[in-house]
Amino acid sequence: MRFALLLPTLLMTAPASAEVISSGPNGFEVQEVVNLVVPQPSAYAAFGQVGQWWNKEHTYSGDSARLSLQLRPGGCFCEPLEGGGGVEHMRVAYLKPGEQLVMTGSLGPLLYQATTGVMDVKFERIAGGTRVTMNYRAAGFANSDGDKLAPLVDQVLADQMKRYRTYAAKAPKPDTLKP
């Protein structure tokens, strides 16, 4: 019984798993995994509130509250900028609410590298909560430096997933979040 009471604490404090799966001059794949002590619908809804947990240091505007992610096919992971401009970081290509989100696009400086990227985020029910696995694959580096950028992208996404895990643990229930 005592272990059952400690399980949520252990899941919450377990470090995020980050890994460069593969890399080469023209592409890479990184994977981030976090275990959450919230049900799948809550984990999924919290992920959609990207402006609440994304690190402002990895935005164009310096303000993560400007970020939005529309959880619908064709939805935009976007950031409006001063003066009417903006950035489309990624676009939702596939969506199975509560279970899987696939987005396409090149994050951050990869946009200027003539790359194509695919981010596959899976939400899996586990004992005591949800395991969220994010795979990001990018290819097409004009300067053949994909293998050099892989660990940097992995580090940035690992930080984002740690921040997401913290937010998801205290986020409002899905039915109280705005769309």
Q: Phi, psi (5° rounding) for residue 57?
A: -65, -15
* Cβ neighbours of 94 (radius 10 Å): 12
Domains of the chain: 12-172 (3.30.530.20)
Tokens of 82: 């001063």
| Ordered alpha helix ranges (H), 91-145 | none
Tokens of 110: 């990869």
Tokens of 49: 């509130």
Q: Which residues pair with 88 in a beta bridge?
A: 78
Predicted TM-score (pTM) of the model is 0.87
**Cβ contacts of residue 170 below 8 Å, gap of 6+?**
none
Q: Are 141 and 9 in contact (CB under 8 A)?
A: no
Round the average pLDDT of the chain to a whole number and report it. 89
25-29, 39-43, 139-143, 170-174, range with the lowest pLDDT: 170-174
pLDDT tens digit string along 66-125?
Answer: 999 999 999 999 999 999 999 999 999 999 999 999 999 999 989 998 899 999 999 999
pLDDT category at 57 given cuts 50, 70, 90 is very high
Q: Are 116 and 136 in contact (CB under 8 A)?
A: no
